[in-house]
Chain A
Amino acid sequence: NAGVMQNPRHLVRRRGQEARLRCSPMKGHSHVYWYRQLPEEGLKFMVYLQKENIIDESGMPKERFSAEFPKEGPSILRIQQVVRGDSAAYFCASSPIAGVADTQYFGPGTRLTVL
């Protein structure tokens, strides 16, 4: 059973470009969570999605960031018009059950560098 997959693992963008980060949850998992780790900080919750629904986006910046988890395919975290402050590691987790933190399985993360 493959774990949570994230791609790309490393992404370099210039200021003003768009970044698309993909997350494929574990088989049978319909809940996806995105976390961001800024340099020298801990992971911070961004958004929680179920298939075709955003459940909680309270940790997501109000502008330029969006997330989706379509019926088919991976979850996508999209950052428009990236700025240097968006440089971070973005982690995705998935779970088979809602609302229980200890069932989250994490992917290896995507390291975004904005030049």
Chain B
Amino acid sequence: AQSVTQPDIHITVSEGASLELRCNYSYGATPYLFWYVQSPGQGLQLLLKYFSGDTLVQGIKGFEAEFKRSQSSFNLRKPSVHWSDAAEYFCAVGAQGDYKLSFGAGTTVTVRA
């Protein structure tokens, strides 16, 4: 069975500082990996996804993530955060041709001025 772990429940970062959110997954085959963001009162928005190919993927809003098979990780990064990046971030794993996603518990990001 597939599962996702996000070790950090809450991260506080200063505006302009870099951000890294951790995600570890457990899956037997090659996973499809996703990062979603949920701003207050909004639905989950897809930031980026990895299916195959280049292990460094670029997403929207200046985010990127790196797939490391040896570490079963798919960490999300942003070089310089903006106050509008304060939100909850979810990592998810799926399988090719499957509609079911398995999500981590989420990481809440607070941005201080």
Do the beta carbons of A43 and B90 come within 8 Å of each other? yes
Q: Chain A CB within 10 Å — which of B45, B46, B100 has the most?
A: B100
Q: How many angstroms between the C-alpha atoms of A95 and B99 in the bound complex?
A: 10
Do the beta carbons of A101 and B34 come within 8 Å of each other? yes
Do the beta carbons of A102 and B49 come within 8 Å of each other? yes
Give the A-B contact count at a CB cut-off of 8 A: 71
Do the beta carbons of A107 and B43 come within 8 Å of each other? yes
Show the binding face of A for B, using Cβ within 8 Å. 3-4, 9, 31, 33, 35, 37, 40-45, 48, 56, 59, 91, 93, 95, 98-102, 104-109
Q: List 24 A-B contacts (CB under 8 A).
A: A3-B43, A4-B43, A9-B41, A31-B99, A35-B101, A40-B105, A42-B90, A42-B105, A43-B103, A44-B102, A56-B99, A98-B99, A99-B98, A100-B99, A101-B32, A101-B34, A101-B98, A101-B99, A101-B101, A102-B49, A102-B51, A102-B94, A104-B101, A109-B43
What residues on A are CB-neighbors of B98 within 8 Å? 99, 101
**Size range of the interface on B?**
20 to 34
